[in-house]
Amino acid sequence: MKILISNDDGYLAPGIVALAEVLASIAEVVVIAPDSNRSGSSNSLTLDRPLSVYRAANGFFAVNGTPTDCVHIALTGLLDYTPDLVVSGINQGQNMGDDTLYSGTVAAATEGYLFGVPSIAFSQVGYGWTNLDAAARVAREIVLRRFDTLQKPYLLNVNIPNLAYEDLKPLKATRLGKRHQSEPVVKTEDPRGREIFWIGPAGGAKDAGLGTDFDATANGHVSITPLQVDLTHRQQLAMLESALA
Ligand code: MN
């Protein structure tokens, strides 16, 4: 099995180092990731300049671009083969509900999925890189499951509670929950008196009911949500057709 690994926290982040290490024991891995933290970069491609690739001492490839750039160039010219799987992460911080739209971690996996490669995004709840060994062990177990009965390509969004391995509850299939709108922007002044805006944190969970990623992880379960990319609102489409008739 050949696995392409990326992330949005940058190629030096402990999460991607841990992920590459555990997956190297079960597959041939290549790591191609942003050269700096590009969290929140969503599915953006860099189109206004060319991208450079630098091979770091540990063998990882660092790209001066976004997570989506990394997977895109890997699959369209950097690699001379198509990987069997694209994995992204392990992200520092959860990517649940609306987070998935902003997340660079999910975006890297989405790019693999859009190129027809089964892809999995891994995120760990919380900050501080604690219990990373547990999260990496879970990621390895999930990759080993292979999910042969799922329609291919699949795109899975995994959120792992920040707990010791023994305290983690079984994997749970979930749907995305929903957040309240983001906290207000922080409006202040720079040292030269110019107005600046600092985007606030994501809002709290609004729909965290049974069956959601929020609920599963809050109860210690590892959450796995199958994602798709078609944003069409089917019900609105029918209503729009009626409105235009
Ligand atoms: Mn991140």
Confidence band (pLDDT; 50, 70, 90) for 223?
Answer: very high
Q: How far is the CA of 226 from the centre of ligand 1 (A)?
A: 20
In single-letter form, the type of residue at position 230 comes to D
Q: What's the confidence (pLDDT) of residue 202?
A: 87
Q: How far is the CA of 243 from the centre of ligand 1 (A)?
A: 42
Q: How far is the CA of 86 from the centre of ligand 1 (A)?
A: 17
Under a CB-based contact definition with an 8 Å cutoff, are residues 198 and 205 in contact? no
Confidence band (pLDDT; 50, 70, 90) for 190?
Answer: very high
- The Cα 13–Cα 35 span in angstroms is 10
pLDDT at 184 over 90: no
Report which of residues 116 and 183 the model is more confident about: 116
- The Cα 145–Cα 190 span in angstroms is 51
Judging by DSSP bridges, how do beta strands 221-226 and 2-6 pair with one another? unpaired
pLDDT at 102 over 90: yes
**What is the total residue count of the chain?**
245
Average pLDDT of the chain is 96
Q: What's the confidence (pLDDT) of residue 201?
A: 86
Q: How far is the CA of 168 from the centre of ligand 1 (A)?
A: 22
Q: How far is the CA of 55 from the centre of ligand 1 (A)?
A: 21
Give pTM, 2 decimals: 0.96
Q: How far is the CA of 15 from the centre of ligand 1 (A)?
A: 10
Q: How far is the CA of 28 from the centre of ligand 1 (A)?
A: 24
pLDDT at 96 over 90: yes
Tens digit of each residue's pLDDT (9 = 90 or more) over 132-143:
999 999 999 999
Q: Could you give the domains of the chain?
A: 2-178+206-244 (3.40.1210.10)
pLDDT at 125 over 90: yes
Q: How far is the CA of 93 from the centre of ligand 1 (A)?
A: 7
In single-letter form, the type of residue at position 122 comes to F
Q: What's the confidence (pLDDT) of residue 70?
A: 98
φ, ψ for residue 157, nearest 5 deg: -110, 110
Over residues 210-226, the mean pLDDT reads 98
Q: How far is the CA of 94 from the centre of ligand 1 (A)?
A: 9
Q: How far is the CA of 134 from the centre of ligand 1 (A)?
A: 18
Q: How far is the CA of 237 from the centre of ligand 1 (A)?
A: 34
